[in-house]
Amino acid sequence: MIGNPVRRITSFFSKYAKIIRWSIAGVITIGALALAAGKIYQRWDDNPDRGAVAMENSAFGEGYSTPVYLDQGWDAAASLWFYNTTQGSGLLPYDFFLALEQVDSDKLFRDNQNIDTFRYLPQMPTFFNPDGLPVGMVKDEYQGKDYMGYTCAACHTGQVNYKGMAIRIDGGPAMADMVGFLSALEKAMTSAQKGDKKKRFVAAVLELDNDYATEAEVVSDLAVWTERIRLYNTINHSHIKYGYGRLDAFGRIYNRVLEYVINKKQTGEILAQLTSVSGERLLNKAQIDKVLDGVNETIIGDDQFALIISRLQSKEPGYPGLSQRQLLLVRNALFNEPDAPVSYPFLWDIAQSDYVQWNGLANNANVGPLGRNTGEVIGVFGILDWTARDPGFSLAAKLSGQEKKAMQIDFKSSINLANLQRLESHLTSLKSPRWPEAYLGAIDQEKARRGELIYAKYCQSCHEVIDREAWDRLVIAKLSAIEAIGTDIAMASNSVNYKGKSGNFKHTYQGIDVGSVIIQDSAPVVQILTSATKGVVATPDADKWFVRRWAEWIYTLVMSLADNEIKSSIKSGNYQPDTTAEPYRSLLSYKARSLNGIWATAPYLHNGSVPTLYDLLLPAKKPGDPDVGEYRPSTFVVGSREFDPEKVGFRHAGYDGSRFTTFRVGDMNTGHEYGSGGTAEADGKTILPPLSGEQRWELIEYLKTL
């Protein structure tokens, strides 16, 4: 019965094999030519200072001269391309960002002094950055309109200041306060809708003569985008204050995906189950129906969720009129509190690593980096034009498990897959920064040699020493179970335990290391994110001409595989393995990686809870410990970039930065106490004796050499 159709298909492919091969080759060639032209173009911005500017009155009284750069394998053109290459992020219309004033003055929000208060790095105008936006903020185009969005560099470019001079660190952890920035942005956009500020804002936007032609268009869009940013800030409110240099990126990515995946039916069910502190229902059926009236059945997303939130708060007849505290009950039922901020990780050697993310969540093999970076752009304001479509074959539906669903999600978005692949490839040439003796003082080589022996005994079993110059280097993540390492559990725990409504992914299959799972109505968000990411990666860029769209998409996937030297492998280290009963058990771990360039990555531990390397070698003070003795600081200040070359870290007292206290889960500074005799080695059994004061200084001197 099936022989004839099979023979016909076989005959067709045999007959037209040459045409098919040439067609595929042609498509790949077009993609290759387009991206080759891009590689030439990316060399055009070669400002000798890489756009960096001096700041006389930088925050916290630390003015600095024009930053210098170390040898990290990138020249000026390579750094500037990294800073200014778009990912498909759209935080707000570009003209709005250019015209927006600060909430309490008529100075521009993007003024360098204001940007510096959030610890983003100001830049001068250059070829790729004609308006002089800070490092990592760029003009991105989508569907014929311009947006201001984030690039990788916003979170992964650092700076070290010392005695009035500055060293820019490509791929280093940012000191940025993204939460503070977004909160201030919301307030500034709200104030721009009133009085003289409104008049100046509208006039400035229209004068740009770009995407807006009338006052009505400006005013309407300003209201829409203000609500989007307010919604984002509301959903992601946390009782843990991140401050400078930290972000719960995963928690926020998780929430953004849930916002677009949950459907109207599931939202209504959750609202119906909400109860007040006294146990009474928070909303009745009539109120829920009124709140959800007209909401899309399958996909909700930013604008409709903003509408739902405003209706929940509305005090007009028939609406619930919820308070801010009651609204958080709604948030907690629909989403998860992003209460596990972590330091921005450094990027050197990421392309040579087998597993990435603080808990080794992402396998870096094959097209893994493309999926990982796609998830990142979802979190940093990729415009997700996801819609419901009638069933039919599509690769996105197939890979995300939706091929047999009554409705399918079309994953159209602003996410630029081609640039994500190029950025990942670009990172292969980034090297860790060497300690700059000319600026920070000479290393005591004799002391460092003694420290090397201590490192071999105390550290090297997990933190392998690698050659930063070796083109074939491979960085193996050594995972330690949270019970063994003893550090704050919040990030690892949330990655596994956070759940949400799965929407159209309900009852779809997903392959994992120990088999296949069926995604349930309420599912781990890691499953939902994986399915959504597959759908986005399998969707060619709708913003490009049809032929280029497919040519570039095919080429991107081919190059993602061809450029990636990392192969699939099992995890290494002292962790609890995944099982069919606990398929994500290995994620309840934290990852050790090579420590080359560690001097430039303070504060330390995954959650930034220890200010210097010296402090990291001390124990955390626990109940019952004597008051006399050296301990890790339980309270310190973050935000300064003024470097301490002795203890190796940033100044953490004596200025008005963000105050870090270490007594709550999410902020705890316990664990990883190998140098103080408080944590067993990787074998989980051996506890080495505490280091003496002299040994601590010797080990720090060696760490400077890595």
No. of H helices and E strands in the chain? 24, 23
688 pLDDT band, cuts 50/70/90, is confident
Half-sphere exposure (Cβ direction) of 603: Cα atoms closer than 13 Å: 31
Task: Tell me what pLDDT residue 696 has.
Answer: 96
Contact 134, 177 (CB under 8 A): no
**Distance of alpha carbon 296 from alpha carbon 313, whole angstroms:** 20
**Distance of alpha carbon 591 from alpha carbon 15, whole angstroms:** 53
- Residue corresponding to tokens 């909400």: 274
**Distance of alpha carbon 661 from alpha carbon 637, whole angstroms:** 9
535 pLDDT band, cuts 50/70/90, is very high
Task: Tell me what pLDDT residue 36 has.
Answer: 61
Task: Tell me what pLDDT residue 483 has.
Answer: 92
Task: Tell me what pLDDT residue 26 has.
Answer: 60
Query: What φ, ψ does residue 55 adopt, rounded to 5°?
Result: -130, 110
Contact 93, 419 (CB under 8 A): no
Task: Tell me what pLDDT residue 108 has.
Answer: 98
Per DSSP, which regions of 151-252 are E strands?
157-162, 165-170, 246-247
Task: Tell me what pLDDT residue 601 has.
Answer: 97
**Distance of alpha carbon 250 from alpha carbon 548, whole angstroms:** 32
Which carries the bigger pLDDT value, residue 657 or residue 471?
657
Tell me what the mean pLDDT of segment 261-284 comes to: 90
Task: Tell me what pLDDT residue 496 has.
Answer: 96
33 pLDDT band, cuts 50/70/90, is low
How high is the mean pLDDT of the chain? 91
Supply the DSSP string of 257-277, one letter for each residue: HHHHH--HHHHHHHHHH-B-T
**Distance of alpha carbon 169 from alpha carbon 650, whole angstroms:** 14
**Distance of alpha carbon 245 from alpha carbon 247, whole angstroms:** 7
pLDDT of 165-208, one tens digit each? Answer: 999 999 999 999 999 999 999 999 999 999 999 999 999 999 99
- How far is the CA of 548 from the CAs of 30, 91, 541, 617, in angstroms? 7, 26, 9, 54
Tell me what the mean pLDDT of segment 268-282 comes to: 89
Per DSSP, which regions of 531-661 are E strands?
572-574, 589-592, 635-638, 643-644, 649-650, 658-661
Tell me what the mean pLDDT of segment 230-255 comes to: 95
**Distance of alpha carbon 226 from alpha carbon 230, whole angstroms:** 6
Beta-strand relationship, 355-356 and 362-363: antiparallel
> Three-state DSSP class for 387?
strand
389 pLDDT band, cuts 50/70/90, is confident
701 pLDDT band, cuts 50/70/90, is very high
pLDDT of 322-351, one tens digit each? Answer: 988 888 899 999 999 999 999 999 999 999
Closest by Cα among 170, 169, 474, 462 to 349:
474
pLDDT value at 31 more than 60: no
pLDDT value at 278 more than 70: yes
Tokens found for residue 584: 């994500």
Tell me what the mean pLDDT of segment 65-74 comes to: 97
Tell me what the mean pLDDT of segment 392-419 comes to: 92
Closest by Cα among 83, 70, 98, 160 to 128:
83
- How far is the CA of 303 from the CAs of 197, 290, 295, in angstroms? 25, 17, 10
- How far is the CA of 462 from the CAs of 485, 490, 675, 682, 683, in angstroms? 11, 22, 14, 7, 10
Amino acid at site 404:
K
Task: Tell me what pLDDT residue 12 has.
Answer: 41
pLDDT value at 301 more than 70: yes
Closest by Cα among 474, 464, 599, 467 to 169:
599
Contact 557, 367 (CB under 8 A): yes
pLDDT value at 302 more than 80: yes
4 pLDDT band, cuts 50/70/90, is very low
Contact 650, 643 (CB under 8 A): yes
Over pLDDT 70: what percentage of the chain?
93
> Three-state DSSP class for 3?
helix
Ordered alpha helix ranges (H), 281-358: 285-291, 301-313, 324-334
Task: Tell me what pLDDT residue 13 has.
Answer: 42
Tokens found for residue 196: 């003289």
Q: Which residues fall within 8 angstroms of residue 294, CB to CB, at 6 or more apart?
A: none
489 pLDDT band, cuts 50/70/90, is very high
pLDDT of 600-610, one tens digit each? Answer: 999 999 999 99
**Distance of alpha carbon 447 from alpha carbon 431, whole angstroms:** 25
**Distance of alpha carbon 669 from alpha carbon 487, whole angstroms:** 7
The 10 Å Cβ neighbour count of residue 280 is 8
For the chain, what's the residue count? Answer: 706
